[in-house]
Structure 1
């Protein structure tokens, strides 16, 4: 009894201690009064920072990274500013971003258009209605002013200073970052902050001394303070009137002013309770090359020396503009609910500035060559398939030199995506290195295939693909990070896991290997296990995180299982397939929300459905359909899919007995399953065209290589070679 009382007393003491700690933490927070300063230096680039010693000093004590600046339509203008302060990508332009000091006529205009201002607010967006109208049909369904609402919900205040006005136009996009959903900001000045100076664009410049004085007067009241330096933006719009030399002179003058402002601001800050972010919400200056990802610099409380990342990108040194909002909210201990992005994390890294320049060069090089290289690859595929079609239709003897060259070329085309991966493992930071590396790898593989070009060669290449993708997912993209078949952080559609290009290749490879395993070992469970592993690889939130790709490989797996059980694809099995797919996606979404403190798109979509209802799925489906419709008409990959289907039909007619023989084997079941997966991937993915085309083409190349070049031999279930001389 005494022992029980002792345990009870200990429990009460521990509970009281924890309760006290939680209470005191809240009071400590109020006493510490954290401040977050966002200095907007729009159009800033990495070369600019070399000329700014105070900002370089911030990097030496803090961190630096790169930010994707994409809004809904592009990388410039008001969209990125509005997107930073929203739960998702947001439409905006200068007309819908008219923030003014709420005095006199502007207060009257605001109250007439939006509503009565119940409390004392310093700044308001008089075109807020237009901003909401622009986003009425926005498929991303953004919460406009999410940062301001989050901060206000904690009883904290926001402030904004500065503008990017010209002599003809009011440009107040910087203040978008601080406003709430009513377009209101508590404190600041966005009107009277400019000086006349003939040496600057439009004869005006930002009055940094006045901003510093006004900051000092209100900083005790505000928790989020946004300062728009403005001058680089003015220079950008004025640059058409300037020669390159005069442009650079004025740019250096402006950079020096901004750097001095930062140097004068830091001494008045309490580093232990403050954070400073220097951001460029738009992509860099048009006249400065390779500046499509903008620099972001962070300094202050709990900021480690090095670089940054986030759960949005899972890429060292790169974040999304959607990550700014959650980072602000987390630092000020305000709600993050509903925001698409994730808080920025620090990573220790020596000489982070040099590292970020390397990352920037490699990302820009890959981005430049990505679409053109894939286009050329697609065109070569189309030409090769057309020539092959001629070969098949006119019954040209494949036993001669022409047939041998064609067969070797099939094998090389099958290997090209792997060459793209191998090339990306090298430190390639310019176009010359890229094209030289591709040429060297292609020559190496061509000579290898001159010696080794039997059917086993393509099997080993297929296994090599699978192993590379598995290792790549386990090591968070270390193999494919800078490959043209991986993600482009400049586009920002995806930053980690399996993109549609990789998913398309993987679906073909996984189904082909499953078929080969069934032939070699006569064990259906090994094949099914491999396909189940493939589902996990594509679908798991910590691995591939590709929902459309998951449904495609799941479809292929179910169809493969139906084939080996001798079942047909009827209405009953189709309903079963839809049910299993729904259950699988739900399980993956649940895993995502449980194991991920910052869920991926799948987890957040499920949370959004719980919050706003099933109607949000219409926006998602609509967005994906629009993307596919757009690509169908313009993409070479549409032609690739069409000609692959034609080749497969003609091949089945010309080499009927060989095709029938293969289809009776495990490999045939893998091929048919891969085709099903490719078609499902086309329907269920935005940019599903390229997923389907790459998958379908690898299957077609595999078939051509086996049937035309090696139709005389085929590995049977016992591993021996048996003759199949019937055409």
Structure 2
């Protein structure tokens, strides 16, 4: 009886599972991805049917277009196809519809029988991709579709009269460079008045679209005309360009109007531009756009890759497509796209984009000015100390004021974004006003120089920690933060402010200890909280920063309690570092699932093996070597090291006297130096972190020395 009952239960469960699977597959629709390459957000309103559809529904976002080792059209296409930043060049692709001749070429080169569309240069493509930084699995999207018995097709090209542009196939191909079906050859017609004398045959393209829509799960379409127009633009005057653009947009509008009529409510339609217009790119507008139509709501796009409202990465698109079909790929580092409801989506996105571009344009000049000013003041102060007997006493007060002024800059750059200015001039004006105001208030209400420096250190360290906990809205928009256009980091506490945090926190805490304003146990609690904020995947999310903080903070604690630091202690510190980082990884992967950089790296190591570790180390070394050669922060760091070395010997005895008078500060400075050293080696841009933290040794030291200038004059 029991056996019959169990059999009946199994039959019912199996039947229900079968029915639910049928129901699930029936509820799922199809996905269409349409590429209108080399267009911008402003162009969308000129495509009438698209503009009308977006008034009713649709989610829009900006898309970072980076590939491996820079940006280009072809890298963005390949990155979308692989879900990881890819490296390749134009000569790596030669997509052909199969015929008797190229079938043999493909077979000869690969040992594999060709399919309907094949990349004859697939082996060259794979070899070149090995030069990339991220170990992309080229053709991952097509590979996952093939392995999950889903079908995809590709339509269209952007060919000119002299060159094939079939980069769209990089999105659709599998790991062998093959695509089972589609049409990339005869969808253009001759038109002597269009760019290169060619235009897309939209009537035929629409027919092919309807045909392949019926028998494909994913349809990828290249419209082509906008790409050709942008390539041809230098040959046109303004009037002719605008006329051609108007004609092309009208044709696109007609095509999209039919697409919106054709699709079902369960379908998903992506409209993207894999790369912005070249003139926009040159003007600093280096993000492209993505529109997602699904359902009847409208809003903005985001993802766990960026954690920024309205911005995603090109690596996210294939992951989101696969997620639609219930597939989770371990080959991709991108994340599922999130839809945020927002009726005023386009206007909000354009406003944020203007702010992002303005920040990006002035970020390097402002930071170079800051770094140069810092170095100049340091060097002038050291020179003044060497020629102290020939320089007026007031000169040292002026130099001391400038030193304190430079220490105000990180805090001013942190809080200036709160005022939400968007144009270049308004951002600069706001930053200058905030900087002067903060300096004035500190100077007015705090008299002692050391107390002023401690206050400035506390302000910026507390500000960074609070911002880290509350979503990093200040750091994300700070000129000393990170740039989503560059795309090296999108969230958390970046290396610039990580260095500032470690340097300012250690200095201000030991400064308070020097003034008997804080207990050592309180310092331990503050340092522990800071490590949690810096390393937590939902807050600071900075792995290298966490390693740096744990190492330098434990070193400081040992020094504060006068514990001798030997090899055994260093090994224990290293073990503590591993335990803290491992804890953060466990929290991320198994509890909150935020999929931060650490979790992503670990999952890549699990799937890719030891080679991934080598790639990560290689990337960090290459980045630091590259930055040492090009960034001004390397000069700041070298200047700081040289100044500390000089002050050990000149003026005679001054460093020793300061160490004796300020014993806790000295221990703090040594911990900052240790942190700078560790930070340099464990971070992609370690030179930046090291330079921003070493300032909290150099500036207080020079201010204290200038305060003792009368004693030095007698030496």
Look up the SS of the partner of 1:346 in the other structure. strand
The question of 1:310 aligning with 2:303 is answered: yes
Instruction: Name stretches of at least 5 consecutive residues in structure 1 with no aligned partner.
Output: 713-722
Aligned pair 1:646/2:625, yes or no? no
Tell me the CA shift for residue 399 of structure 1: 8.7
Q: Tell me, in whole angstroms, the C-alpha distance in 2 between the residues paired with 1:76 and 1:138.
A: 14
SS at match of 2:468: helix
Tell which deviates more after alignment, 493-502 or 535-544.
535-544
CA drift at 1:594: 1.3
Matched position secondary structure for 2:679: helix
Q: Pick one of 673, 677, 680 that aligns with 1:679.
A: 677
Which among 124, 141, 145 is matched to residue 135 of structure 2?
141
Secondary structure at 1:195 match in 2: strand
2:481 is the counterpart of 1:481:
no
Query: What residue in structure 1 maps to residue 111 of structure 2?
Result: 115
Cα distance in 1 for partners of 2:587, 2:631 equals: 35
Q: CA offsets per residue over residues 267-308 of structure 1, 9 Å max, x none?
A: 01102x21111111123332674431111111024x741101
Report SS of the residue matched to 1:319.
Answer: strand
Q: Give 1:55 deviation, angstroms.
A: 1.7
Q: Which residue of 1 aligns with 2:493?
A: 498
**For residues 334 and 53 of structure 2, what CA distance do their matches in structure 1 show?**
25
Question: Which residue among 374, 377, 399 is the counterpart of 2:370?
Answer: 377
Q: 1:636 aligns with which of 626, 632, 637?
A: 632
Q: Relative to 1, partners in 2 of residues 1:538 and 1:598: Cα closer, same or farther, differing over 3 Å?
A: closer
Tell me which moved more, 389-398 or 686-695: 389-398
Residue in structure 2 matched with residue 592 of structure 1 by the alignment: 588
Query: Which is worse superposed, 280-289 or 128-137?
Result: 280-289
Helix, strand or coil: the match of 2:315? Answer: helix
Instruction: Tell me the C-alpha RMSD between the 2 structures.
Output: 2.7
- Going from structure 1 to structure 2, the CA distance change for 1:526 and 1:173 (only over 3 Å counts) comes to same
Return the offset for 1:707: 4.2
Deviation digits for residues 424-453 of structure 1 (CA, Å, limit 9, x no counterpart): 222222221122223322333454355345
Distance (Å, rounded) in 2 between the aligned partners of 1:290 and 1:263: 32
Deviation at 1:15, TM superposition (A): 10
Q: Deviations 1:606-628 (Å, cap 9, x if unpaired)? A: 12222232232111111111111
Supply the distance in 1 between the matched residues of 2:84 and 2:454 (Cα, whole angstroms).
Answer: 44
1:80 to 50, 53, 76: 76
Aligned residue among 340, 352, 356 for 2:349: 356
247-256 or 218-227, which deviates more: 247-256
Q: Given that residues 284 and 360 in structure 2 are in contact (C-alpha distance below 8 angstroms), is that contact kept between their aligned partners in structure 1?
A: no
CA contact (8 A) 1:322 1:341 kept: yes
SS of the residue 1:485 aligns to: coil
The 1:479–1:15 alpha-carbon spacing in structure 2 relative to 1, beyond 3 Å, is farther
**What is the CA-CA distance between 1:503 and the residue it aligns to?**
0.7
| 1:608 matched to 2:604 | yes
Deviation per residue, 1:185-230 (Å, 9 max, x gap): 2221001110111221001011121111112122222111100011
Count of residues paired in the alignment: 704
- Tell me, yes or no, if the aligned pair for 2:533 and 2:540 is still in contact at 8 Å: yes
Q: Does the CA-based 8 Å contact 1:652-1:659 persist in structure 2? A: no
Cα distance, 1:384 vs structure 2: 0.9
Q: Among 459, 467, 475, which residue is 1:464 paired with?
A: 459
Please give the per-residue CA displacement for 1:490-514, whole angstroms capped at 9, x wherever unaligned. 0001100011111111111221233
Q: How does 1:128-207 map to 2 (within 5 A)?
A: 128-207=122-201
Gaps of 5+ in 2: none
How far the C-alpha of 1:592 sits from its partner, in A, is 1.8
Cα deviations by residue, 1:554-579 (Å, 9 ceiling, x for unpaired): 11012112212323332222222222
Q: In 2, are the aligned partners of 1:150 and 1:335 still within 8 Å (CA)?
A: no
Asked if the contact 2:117/2:180 (under 8 Å) is kept, the reply is: yes
Aligned pair 1:516/2:516, yes or no?
no
**Which residue does the alignment assign to 1:125?**
119
SS at match of 1:85: helix
2:534 to 538, 542, 565: 538
- Greater shift, 210-219 or 431-440, is seen at 431-440
| Stretch of structure 1 that moved more, 396-405 or 613-622 | 396-405
2:232 corresponds to which of 228, 238, 247: 238
When structure 1 is superposed on structure 2, of 550-559 and 287-296 the one drifting more is 287-296
- Structure 1: how far apart are the matches of 2:261 and 2:584? 49
Aligned partners of 2:273 and 2:288 also within 8 Å: yes
Correspondence for 2:691 = 693
The question of whether the paired residues in 1 share the 8 Å contact of 2:83 and 2:319 is answered with no
Partners of 1:178 and 1:224 within 8 A in 2:
no
**How far apart, in 2, do the equivalents of 1:199 and 1:675 lie?**
66
Helix, strand or coil for the counterpart of 1:703?
helix
State yes or no: 1:36 paired with 2:31: yes
Higher deviation after alignment, 188-197 or 521-530:
521-530
Shift of the 663–556 alpha-carbon distance from structure 1 to 2, 3 Å rule, reads farther
Whether the 8 Å contact between 1:54 and 1:259 is mirrored in structure 2 is: yes
Residues 98, 126 of structure 1: 8 Å contact kept: yes
Any conservation in 2 of the 1:91–1:134 contact (CA below 8 Å)?
yes
Native 8 Å contact 2:476 2:482 kept in 1: yes
Q: Give yes or no for the alignment of 1:90 onto 2:86.
A: yes
Moved more, 13-22 or 247-256: 13-22
47-56 or 483-492, which deviates more: 47-56
Retained in 2: the 8 A contact 1:122–1:187?
yes
Matched, 1:47 2:42: yes
Quote how far apart the aligned CAs of 1:139 are.
3.3
Displacement after TM superposition at 1:31 (Å): 2.3
- Measure how far apart 1:256 and its partner are: 2.2
Deviation at 1:472, TM superposition (A): 1.1
Q: Map Cα deviations across residues 536-564 of structure 1 (whole Å, 9 max, x no partner).
A: 12111111111111111111012112212
CA drift at 1:24: 3.4
Aligned residue runs from structure 1 range 232-271, under 5 A = 232-271=226-265
Tell me: CA distance 1:726–1:275, structure 2 relative to 1, closer, same or farther (3 Å). farther
Residues 466-488 of structure 1: CA deviation (Å, up to 9, x unaligned): 22112211221222221111110
- Contact 1:175–1:228 at 8 Å: present in 2 too? no
Instruction: Note closer, same or farther for the CA distance 1:152–1:425 as it changes in structure 2 (3 Å cut).
Output: same
- Conserved 8 A contact 2:397-2:706: no
**Whole-Å separation in 1 of the counterparts to 2:66 and 2:364:** 18
- Tell me, what secondary structure is at the counterpart of 2:306? coil
Partners of 1:410 and 1:14 lie apart in 2 by 79
Q: Deviations over 1:109-160 (max 9, x none)?
A: 2222223337xx4322121111101112333111111111112222110100
SS of structure 2 residue aligned to 1:480: helix
Could you say if the C-alpha distance between residues 461 and 522 of structure 1 is closer, same or farther in structure 2, counting changes exceeding 3 Å? closer
Task: Tell me which moved more, 636-645 or 498-507.
Answer: 636-645
How far 1:100 moved relative to its partner? 2.1
Q: Which range moves more in the overlay, 85-94 or 382-391?
A: 85-94
User: 2-side partners of 1:187 and 1:22: how far apart?
Assistant: 32
Could you tell me how far apart the structure 2 residues matched to 1:581 and 1:448 are?
39
Rounded Cα–Cα distance in structure 2 between residues aligned with 1:648 and 1:465: 24
Q: Is this contact kept in 2: 1:518–1:526, CA < 8 A?
A: no
| TM-score, L = length of structure 2 | 0.93
Give, in whole Å, the separation in 2 of the partners of 1:651 and 1:563: 22
In the other structure, the counterpart of 1:340 is 333
Q: Give the Å deviation of 1:711.
A: 9.3
The alpha-carbon distance between structure 1 residues 428 and 16, as it changes in their structure 2 partners (threshold 3 A), is farther
